[in-house]
Amino acid sequence: MASLSLLTAPAVLAKAPSDACRLAGVATKDATVHQPFQIVDGRIYVQATVNGSGPYRFAVDTGASGMGRLDESLVALMGLQRHGVATTSDGVNTAEVDTTRIQSLSLGALVHRDLELITRNYNKRNSPEAAFHGILGREFFGNGLLVIDYPRRILSFTQRHAISPSDKNALPYERAFRIPVTVAGHALVAQLDTGANVNLVLPQAVYEGIWDAPLQDAVRSQLTNGQLETWRATLQGPVRVGQANLEDVEIRVSAKFPGPLVGAEALQQSVVLIDQRSKTVAVCR
Q: Would the pLDDT of 276 be above 90?
A: yes
**Could you give the percent of the chain with pLDDT greater than 70?**
89
pLDDT value at residue 219: 73
Rounded to 5 degrees, what angle do the CA atoms 78, 80, 83 make? 165
Tens digits of residue pLDDT in 62-95: 999 999 999 999 999 999 998 888 777 656 667 7
Domains in the chain (CATH in brackets) are 29-158 (2.40.70.10), 171-284 (2.40.70.10)
CA 128 to chain centre: 23
- 78 vs 17, more confident: 78
The CA distances from residue 87 to 96, 117, 122, 176, 254, in Å, are: 5, 12, 15, 19, 24
Contact (CB, 8 A) for 108 and 34: yes
pLDDT value at residue 203: 95
**If you ran DSSP here, which 8-state letter would residue 139 be given?**
G
Tens digits of residue pLDDT in 152-182: 999 999 999 999 999 999 999 999 999 999 9
pLDDT value at residue 154: 97
Q: Would the pLDDT of 109 be above 60?
A: yes
Tens digits of residue pLDDT in 32-44: 999 999 999 889 9
Give the β-pairing of 261-262 and 186-192: parallel
